Structure 1
Amino acid sequence: MADAEGVDVLVIGGGVTGAGIALDAATRGLRTAIVEMQDWASGTSSRSSKLVHGGLRYLYQLDFALVAEALRERGRLLRTTAPHLVHAQPFLWPLKTPLIERAYSAVGVGMYDALAILGARGVSVPVQKHYSKAGALKIFPQMRPDSLSGAIRFYDARVDDARLVLALVRSAVGHGALAASRAQVVDLTKDPTGRVTGAVVADLESGAERTVRANHVINATGVWTEETEALGGGEHGLKVLASKGVHIVVPKERISGQTGLFLRTEKSVLFVIPWQRYWVIGTTDTPWTEERQHPVATAEDVDYILEQANKVLSPALTREDIIGVYAGLRPLLQPVAKGDGQSQQSTKVSREHTVAEAAPGLTVIAGGKLTTYRQMAEDAVDFALGARARTMPSVTASTPLVGAAGYRATKARAGQIGAAHGWTADRVEHLLHRYGSEISLILESIEATPELGRPLTGAEAYLAAEVAFAVTHEGALHLEDILTHRVRLSYETRDRGVSALEEIAAIAGPLLGWDEATTTREIDAYRRRAEAEATAEQERTDTAAAAARLTTDDVVPVRSLDAPTT
């Protein structure tokens, strides 16, 4: 990146938006670089509801353009760009009144289906289906009979958010981009006219600093947007509101249902989302004013989710059922102040994104949502290029991510793959939904090193080969990178993966060149992190929970600068 020739585009921020921008720029033939101060997807993009959806609730806010855009992007992900990572998911919407609610809900869901069909130029998921009370209870036996009079089934899609980001970064690199995690922008460089010409980037692993020259710098740092803008010294940037969303995870056997649930609450909506081995339930939507690197859930957040879920579930969920909890921050565009000077509540802020020039040479993008990352990326690169964009248009709408090309043919061989390795259908599905056609690389690694074919003793759902792949192909540098963003035990197990730590370290350590002291330090650092998060969840307020989380140091601390940093 620091070569004298510089790059055409430097992207700051390795979440889904930044990764999407890097892929968009690289596939236009631009020399592209992307830096992230933590691990890839370490912020918002690993802590979402893990849904690719149009936003059914936005129809009730009459935001048709936003819904249509999101449904169009959902169709592309399902069909073309990431069919291995994004999967159609049915949801049941319980209705409380038999006539009026069913009528207006049917119209709303009907519009949702129509917009999806128009955007996809065909049917990509099944359309709505109506059920009586008895029919709905047959599909979802654990719903309380007194919580519904009937239901409507509709479809959206689900995705492992962090793995989507990894696929985007790896795809961008495959098309020539340069990528560096644990690389923090500590300053922006300018020419005598005040135009931003690049950035000073600190390699947090080594402490070295390098200057990267760039014709265009694009700020995609989410809730850190304003800090990044401040480095450029501009006065016309965007402002964002950090809104905390919390989710809980319960074992698959704890809830009896064949679909997900879509529940409207007094404040927003609640999703009950089935995955292969567990259910994800959330979310909350509350302002967050604490330190932004490590948002955490409080006991109050967990109580709220349980209360909302238990309005329709019987037997009710309890804290003893919870195996995981995670919290993330949504970077919402700052709402316009009302006449009394008070801002709107975060639940009323639009998810539409905005691109602006914070300073000459510095483009900033904020808002939006995971589903529309590709459109956001296209808009950001178009904006940065200006008139040049007409001669080098975006091609990402038809560009498959790593693992997507050949996925359907690989999926057709699932039975053969399972039989050849003695794997269950569930094991093969797990691998296909994580790696797609790149399952061939997993198989090659096992053929070369047979012991990689064994399940982890402390986490039987995963193979040792997946830990190795996280290092050799997916850029993991630390144990927390593996457990939080690749082999995602941080929220899939009650102990946050601690019982598998030593086994994972024994696989990753030699690949990363760790000595005994480094291995011990990595294990201890993750244990302290897990303990701090568990302690934070017992607190009732954001302030107390944030303080509890910050009692342990990061394995690779970001720099604390006098000037605002990314």
Structure 2
Amino acid sequence: MAQSFSSSRRTEVLHEMNGAQFDLLIIGGGITGAGIALDAATRGMKTALVEMQDFAAGTSSRSTKLVHGGLRYLKQFEVKMVAEVGKERAVVYENGPHVTTPEWMLLPFHKGGTFGRFSTSIGLRVYDFLAGVKRSERRTMFGVQETLAKEPLIKREELKGGGYYVEYRTDDARLTIEVMKEAVAQGAKAVNYTKVEELIYENGRMIGVRATDQLDGKVYEVYAKKIVNATGPWVDTLREKDHSKKGKMLQLTKGIHLVIDQLRFPLKQAVYFDTPDGRMVFAIPRDGKTYVGTTDTFYDTDTAHPKMTLADRKYVIDAINYMFPDVKINVNDVESSWAGVRPLIYEEGKNASEISRKDEIWQSESGLITIAGGKLTGYRKMAEMVVDLAAGLLKEEGHGTYPPCKTKTWPISGGNVGGSANFPAFIRTKTEEGLAYGLTREQAEKLVRTYGSNIDRIYEYIVQHGREAKANGLPLDVFIRVFYAMEEEMAAKPVDVFIRRTGALFFNIGWVHQWKEPVISYMAKRLRWSAEEKKKYTIELETQLHDAVVPMDEKNGNNKFAM
């Protein structure tokens, strides 16, 4: 039976979970936890998930926003991982073409750079083979003029040519939300802002958790036959609670991205390039902006709120001006930024960019199953391994049998568009329909591209609630996004809407400033916030707006930093 995923019913869902026993309880609502919930629910397991922040608030909204095969890991001979995640790109795309799309990537090579013509050609050929790339998307090698024709802004000095290959671009937060929505539609119960404070044991076995609702302070107990630690950067924190942090452990690294308007950085073509110190950086055009990243530095401070520093910003700006010398980007051109933490598995003696992105599953004496490491691209395969393990253990313990994984061909929420090949026709048809609901063609098309097959629900809500838009001082297209985020995506705070549900704080920060006050007022009315709650959530959004633009060092007056 489909469960509610409305923020107005969030407390009700917690009451339903309280004292109940599930087959599987997942701690962590990033892409890995969401994938596990979907896999388990589609196999018929009674499934629950709790997340201490918002869904995707950690690493899963702060990546380079690529479902990519990890070309650079070939240099580290991670052949098996490249083969596995490379093949997964097409699966992720086919199951949700509204949140993932192929993106041709240009890899220029210069004299003395990391890549040469021969190594690039061989590397991309091997990559195509390992990733099972379809013929139309296999790599092409370019000479100097062809490379510059694709992207005229590239540094011409000592340019030797370029490789051209396909990656897949995604909206990482929306991918996570859509996977979570589908898990809920298949019967899982999932709640955000619910922090596991204590683990409950019986005869040395973990049987449940005690979790606190971060919005009202109430405490709930949730029980399960099997419990999964899918908390990403907090994996070791939970293992410490379980007294099972031994052997392998995490090494956190931080990456940041800068967003610049296309008027200042008119990049035509996604580019993957090396920096003078040998690191690899992406520059990607998206929605009228160009975003560039990532850095790769060891990190051991505020895991929940990583921030850009002066050093981070300078490194990325220097990288842009090194590869695209004519644009002459400076600090005033940076509209927004984001910082994210990668939970990698510690490897002694390796620097941040050399550590493997492979995933591992650990099981403690108490029965806690931990999934660590891994990449966004491989989330579905990671989930399959975790649920296979849980299903095997449940069977051994006499709790029934479960079928094999079903998610390889299972569309995520919004993905029922008739397959990726049919998506362009779907967009055209549904955009035309949108005109009848009072939307402009541009507004309708953007909504269809964002919500995929859920657009019919959006149109239903416009009919039922569209007249509330004007009364709340919002244009119809803004209002309906906010309404849908609360009603169908458990958006509980303004930051949920402006960061995870729309991506606007990163890619359209002016839009956030323009509509934040009426959006906050409308959410406060609909979710019945007190004056104190409204003030608290407003301050939280203002802090995020500030942090997206102002480096940490400038804010506290401390300009000491280390890369």
- Please indicate the TM-score interval, normalised by the length of the shorter structure: 0.7 to 0.9
Q: How does 1:89-128 map to 2 (within 5 A)?
A: 89-97=103-111, 101-117=116-132, 122-123=134-135, 126-128=137-139
* Structure 2 counterparts to residues 84-163 of structure 1, below 5 A: 84-97=98-111, 101-117=116-132, 122-123=134-135, 126-146=137-157, 148-163=159-174
SS at match of 1:289: coil
Give the secondary structure class of the aligned counterpart of 2:257: strand
TM-score (norm: length of structure 2): 0.88
User: SS of the counterpart of 2:223?
Assistant: strand
Cα offset for 1:471?
0.7
Q: Which runs of 5+ in 1 are unaligned?
A: 338-342, 547-566
- Choose the corresponding residue for 2:335, options 311, 314, 323: 323
Other-structure match for 2:87: 72
Gaps of 5+ in 2: 1-15, 396-400
Counterpart in 1 of 2:97? 83
The answer on 1:530 being equivalent to 2:536 is no
| Structure 1 residues 42 and 242: alpha-carbon distance in aligned structure 2, compared to 1, 3 A threshold | same
What secondary structure is seen at the aligned counterpart in 2 of 1:245? strand
Read off the aligned partner of 2:342 and give its amino acid letter. R
In the alignment, structure 1 residue 436 sits paired with structure 2 residue 452? yes
Q: Secondary structure at the match of 1:347?
A: coil
1:417 is aligned with what amino acid?
Answer: E
Equivalent of residue 265 in structure 2, options 255, 262, 283: 255
Deviation at 1:98, TM superposition (A): 11
1:417 is aligned to 2:428: no
Give the Cα–Cα distance (whole angstroms) in 2 for the partners of residues 242 and 523 of structure 1.
Answer: 30
Mean Cα deviation higher: 496-505 or 351-360:
496-505
Tell me, in whole angstroms, the C-alpha distance in 1 between the residues paired with 2:435 and 2:193: 41
CA positional deviation for 1:462:
5.7
Partner of 1:234: 244
TM-score, with structure 1 as normaliser = 0.87
CA contact (8 A) 2:250 2:346 kept: yes
Matches within 5 A, 1:283-362: 283-313=294-324, 314-335=326-347, 337=348, 343-362=349-368
1-structure distance, mates of 2:557, 2:198: 31
Confirm or deny: 8 A CA contact 1:296 1:545 kept in the other structure: no
Quote how far apart the aligned CAs of 1:63 are.
1.3
2:432–2:441 CA contact under 8 A, matched in 1: no
Cα 1:293/1:57, change in 2 over 3 Å: same
Paired AA for residue 274 in structure 2: R
The one-character-per-residue Cα deviations of 1:179-217 (angstroms, maximum 9, x if unpaired) are: 11111101111112x111111111222212121111000
Following superposition, the deviation at residue 420 of structure 1 comes to 3.8
Residue pair 2:435, 2:444 contacting (<8 A) in 1 also:
no
Determine which of 244, 248, 254 is the counterpart of 1:244: 254
Residues 423 and 364 of structure 1: is their aligned pair in 2 closer, same or farther, counting only changes over 3 Å?
Answer: same
**Hey, what's the Cα distance between the residues in 1 that align with 2:374 and 2:547?**
31
Give yes or no for the alignment of 1:9 onto 2:43.
no
Native 8 Å contact 1:9 1:33 kept in 2: yes
Return the letter of the residue paired with 2:147.
A
2:102 is paired with a residue of what secondary structure? strand
> Residues of 2 paired with 1:519 and 1:540: CA distance?
25
Tell me, in whole angstroms, the C-alpha distance in 2 between the residues paired with 1:400 and 1:166.
13
**Matches of residues 329-408 of structure 1 in structure 2 within 5 Å?**
329-335=341-347, 337=348, 343-386=349-392, 391-406=402-417, 408=423
Quote the offset at 1:534 in angstroms: 4.4
Q: What's the CA shift for 1:164?
A: 0.8
Cα deviation 1:197-243 (Å, max 9, x = unaligned): 11111122221212111100000111111110122222556411110
Letter in 2 for 1:505: I
Q: Is the 8 A contact 2:469 2:476 kept in 1?
A: no
- Code of the residue aligned with 1:327 in structure 2: it is A
Quote the RMSD (CA, aligned, Å).
2.8
Question: In 2, Cα distance between the equivalents of 1:75 and 1:296?
Answer: 32
Report the CA distance shift for 1:179/1:387 in structure 2 as closer, same or farther (over 3 A): closer
Q: How many angstroms apart in 1 are the aligned matches of 2:440 and 2:220?
A: 49
| CA shift for structure 1 position 410 | 2.7
Q: Which residue identity is paired with 2:254?
A: K
Distance 1:419 1:202, change over 3 A: closer
How far the C-alpha of 1:253 sits from its partner, in A, is 3.1
